[in-house]
Amino acid sequence: MSAIQLWLVEPLADEVARVVRRIADEPDVRAVAVLPDVHLAGDVCVGMAIATERRIFPAAVGGDIGCGMTALAFDCAADVVDGRTAPRLLEAIAAHVPTARHRRVIAPPLPEALDPSQLSDERLRAAARDEARLELGTIGGGNHFAELQRDVSDGRLWLLVHSGSRGLGPLIRDHHLARATPAARSGLAALDGEGDDGRAYLADHAWAIRWATANRDRIVDAVATALVEIVGARPLDETRFACVHNLVRREEHDGRALWVHRKGAMPAADGERGCVPGSMGSPSFHVEGRGVAAALASSAHGAGRALPRVAARRVISVAALERQMAGVFWDRRRAALLRDEAPAAYKDIGAVMRAQRDLVRIVRRLEPVLSWK
């Protein structure tokens, strides 16, 4: 069994521990890092970084390939978002940043870098011709969001956007899983990173990351336009930065070239910038990595779920969600749909940051002001 390194808020649940051990037992796996936001999510938990010698595991990246975050500061204090301006901002963001799809007549054209003809198979190309355009610049469901935040140190207004490859990532994952071979011990589907199938997955994976990056950029630009028009807040382009937390890439660790898979795990090389959000009602953090080798130079990508979605919807009422969101502007008409995104459904972000204090340096703490999801 390969080395397992743990950074935890609480002891691993039995089902999570079984997944971790099963993966670590694979002969080609060289190291496993389990991060404080770890929670069960299929064959590979969210909150894990896995290094292999040659094999690539699509499930260890997950379906939302390229999911990540983009942050941008503005030239004003966050108090420009108040009881008068917040409803107008929410209306404008909802109009230009749908959670699902754009209407076909207003869907944006695809940039040349996202031409679906670059995908490896005609079935993927056919699916992407519509979806890539209709979903570009949309948030999606789950824990994805566009959030206006206050820097607690100086009161400045920041924007943080969290989204990924939407419906396209799962299509790419499932297409390549169907061509993968079950690993000997775990049964986890694997591709040879140096074979034709592995290279095809990596090419499609790179396309999905480009699409996810363009998706976030379009959301950021739409929200920035709304801020300019409604409150006169102008973006400070030099502050813009991004990070990706669902990906696989070749990296050198302990003098070896390894495939490092991250699923809900943020690259955290020494000095590398990143964002670690809490929930829609709790703080977020801008960080810099410390490059800890034992963690495969990785960190948590967020608070991590404390309750599965079904359980959260069962035990968290609309009234409880509204209490937990006190002080944050949000679309209360969506309350019934957002109960599984309530702060109580997530781990304590403060505990997560304490558990990984040797993995990242905190640069900035931000409080939520307005949340759209």
3-state SS assignment for residue 142: coil
CA angle 129, 134, 136 (to 5 degrees): 100
User: What distance in Å separates the CA atoms of residue 371 and residue 276, rounded to the nearest whole number?
Assistant: 16
Instruction: Pick left, alpha or beta for residue 102 (phi over 0 → left; psi -120 to 50 → alpha; otherwise beta).
Output: beta
Please report, for residues 70, 129, 365, the alpha-carbon distance to residue 153 in angstroms, rounded to integers and kept in the order given: 20, 45, 8
Residue 45: partners with Cβ closer than 8 Å, 6 or more residues away: 16, 19, 20, 34, 38, 39, 263, 264
Active-site residue identified among 39, 175, 205, 301 = 301
Residue (of 80, 82, 132, 85) closest to 110 by Cα position: 132
8-state DSSP, 249? E
Active site residue 253: no
Residue (of 99, 41, 94) closest to 329 by Cα position: 94
Q: Where does residue 117 rank: exposed (0-12), middle (13-18), buried (19+ CB within 10 A)?
A: exposed
User: What distance in Å separates the CA atoms of residue 297 and residue 308, rounded to the nearest whole number?
Assistant: 28
User: What distance in Å separates the CA atoms of residue 66 and residue 245, rounded to the nearest whole number?
Assistant: 7
User: What distance in Å separates the CA atoms of residue 310 and residue 330, rounded to the nearest whole number?
Assistant: 22
Q: Where does residue 369 rank: exposed (0-12), middle (13-18), buried (19+ CB within 10 A)?
A: buried
Catalytic residue list: 301
